[in-house]
């Protein structure tokens, strides 16, 4: 049985106060009614430490993740955040290669790969994001794009390391648009991704890697998406900013 995971990607939303309030309500909600899935909160960098403190002081099992990480250890990289910094703030996970990073901040397969390798070397588990644009889907290139992103993003990673990765399939056309992939579309891509992982690593490892779906997941569509054989949970953007909807999604297995 693969782990079920629901991760909240808060993106560039909330501030030092509102992020703590949101985390507090989620922690309380899970205390009142436990969830079987592993929950990961990915707030902005400035809130990592205070949310870590909240989780720790309440004895919560909820995990903490960052939204990005630089691939160098330290040095003159103004504005960047290293694995050591994330570790010291209590992060166990990091989102790597989100399509917004690829689109607005010049992230490439090569830099995605460097980040993935560095996070694994330092025991921060990467949630590697892949997914096609609308134009790529419409021109029947979805599988080619996924193949390129898997081959490029996961290069130089050993089988042992691969077993620690989480993949997030996030079709770009579904992110923040209110148009989610249908459960059948998600399953088709997830099954393809698992097959590619099996070829790249081995079938047992591929079977063990959680593949999350992301893109306009809501409390209304989560159950049908998560019911698919190869969909092991979700990476939630907009709906993770509301504690009730995030908790409802977390209970959709
Ligand atoms: P969304 O974002 O749920 O707002 O579509 C998902 C994501 O970008 O991770």
Query: Rounded to an integer, what distance in angstroms lies between the CA atom of residue 138 and that of residue 68?
Result: 29
For residues 43 and 52, the answer to whether their CB atoms sit within 8 Å is no
CATH 3.20.20.70 for the 5-250 domain, yes or no: yes
Per-residue model confidence (pLDDT) at position 195:
98
Q: Decide: 65 in ligand 1 pocket, CB within 6 A.
A: no
User: Does residue 170 carry a catalytic annotation?
Assistant: yes
Residue 169 neighbours by CB under 8 Å, 6+ apart: 130, 131, 146, 186, 189, 190, 193, 211, 212, 213, 214
For residues 182 and 203, the answer to whether their CB atoms sit within 8 Å is no
Residue located nearest, by CA, to atom 6 of ligand 1: 237
Q: Decide: 214 in ligand 1 pocket, CB within 6 A.
A: yes
Asked whether the predicted pLDDT for residue 1 surpasses 90, the reply is no
Query: Rounded to an integer, what distance in angstroms lies between the CA atom of residue 101 and that of residue 116?
Result: 14
Question: Tens digits of per-residue pLDDT, 227-251?
Answer: 999 999 999 999 999 999 999 999 9
Q: Decide: 203 in ligand 1 pocket, CB within 6 A.
A: no
Ligand 1 mean position, distance from CA 75 (Å):
32
Q: Which atom of ligand 1 is nearest to the CA of 180?
A: 5
Ligand 1 mean position, distance from CA 175 (Å):
5
For residues 130 and 170, the answer to whether their CB atoms sit within 8 Å is yes
Residue recorded with tokens 């891509």: 189
* Mean pLDDT estimate for the chain: 98
Percent of the chain with pLDDT over 90: 100
At 180 the three-state DSSP class reads: coil
Domain ranges of the chain: 5-250
Average pLDDT for 140-162: 98
- Please count the residues of the chain: 253
| pTM confidence score | 0.98
Q: Decide: 131 in ligand 1 pocket, CB within 6 A.
A: no
Average pLDDT for 167-178: 97
Per-residue model confidence (pLDDT) at position 15:
97
Query: Rounded to an integer, what distance in angstroms lies between the CA atom of residue 224 and that of residue 42?
Result: 24
Question: Tens digits of per-residue pLDDT, 78-134?
Answer: 999 999 999 999 999 999 999 999 999 999 999 999 999 999 999 999 999 999 999
Question: Tens digits of per-residue pLDDT, 202-223?
Answer: 999 999 999 999 999 999 999 9
Confidence of residue 141 (pLDDT cuts 50, 70, 90): very high
Query: Rounded to an integer, what distance in angstroms lies between the CA atom of residue 12 and that of residue 197?
Result: 31
The closest of 208, 25, 23, 175 to 99, measured between CA atoms, is: 175
What is the 3 state secondary structure string of 47-89? HHHHHHHHHHHCCCCCEEEECCCCCCCCCCCCCCCCHHHHHHC
Residue located nearest, by CA, to atom 1 of ligand 1: 237
Asked whether the predicted pLDDT for residue 8 surpasses 90, the reply is yes
The closest of 57, 84, 64 to 19, measured between CA atoms, is: 64
User: Does residue 72 carry a catalytic annotation?
Assistant: no
Average pLDDT for 5-10: 98
Ligand 1 mean position, distance from CA 126 (Å):
17
Q: Which atom of ligand 1 is nearest to the CA of 238?
A: 4
Provide the token pair at 174.
């579904």
Percent of the chain with pLDDT over 70: 100
Residue located nearest, by CA, to atom 7 of ligand 1: 237
């Amino acid at each position: 049985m693969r782990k079920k995971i629901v991760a909240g990607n808060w993106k560039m939303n909330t501030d030092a106060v509102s992020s703590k309030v949101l985390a507090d309500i989620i922690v309380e909600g899970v205390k009142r009614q436990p969830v079987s899935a592993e929950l990961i909160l990915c707030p902005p960098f400035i809130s990592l430490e205070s949310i870590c403190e909240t989780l720790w002081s309440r004895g919560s099992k909820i995990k903490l993740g960052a939204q990005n990480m630089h691939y160098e250890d330290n040095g003159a990289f103004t504005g960047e955040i290293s694995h050591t910094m994330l570790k010291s703030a209590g992060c166990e996970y990091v989102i790597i290669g989100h399509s917004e990073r690829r689109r607005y901040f010049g992230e490439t397969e090569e830099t995605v790969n460097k980040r993935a390798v560095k996070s694994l070397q330092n025991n921060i588990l990467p949630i590697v994001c892949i997914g096609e644009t609308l134009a790529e889907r419409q021109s029947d290139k979805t599988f080619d794009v996924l193949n390129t992103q898997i081959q490029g993003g996961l290069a130089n990673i050993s089988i042992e390391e691969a077993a620690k990765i989480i993949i997030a399939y996030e079709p770009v056309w579904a992110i923040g648009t209110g148009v989610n992939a249908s459960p059948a579309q998600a399953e088709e891509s997830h099954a393809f991704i698992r097959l590619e992982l099996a070829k790249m690593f081995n079938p047992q490892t591929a079977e063990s890697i959680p593949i999350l779906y992301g893109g306009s997941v809501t409390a209304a569509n989560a159950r049908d998406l998560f019911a698919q054989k190869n969909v092991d949970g979700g990476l939630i953007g907009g709906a993770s900013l509301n504690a009730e909807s995030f908790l409802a999604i977390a209970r959709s297995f």
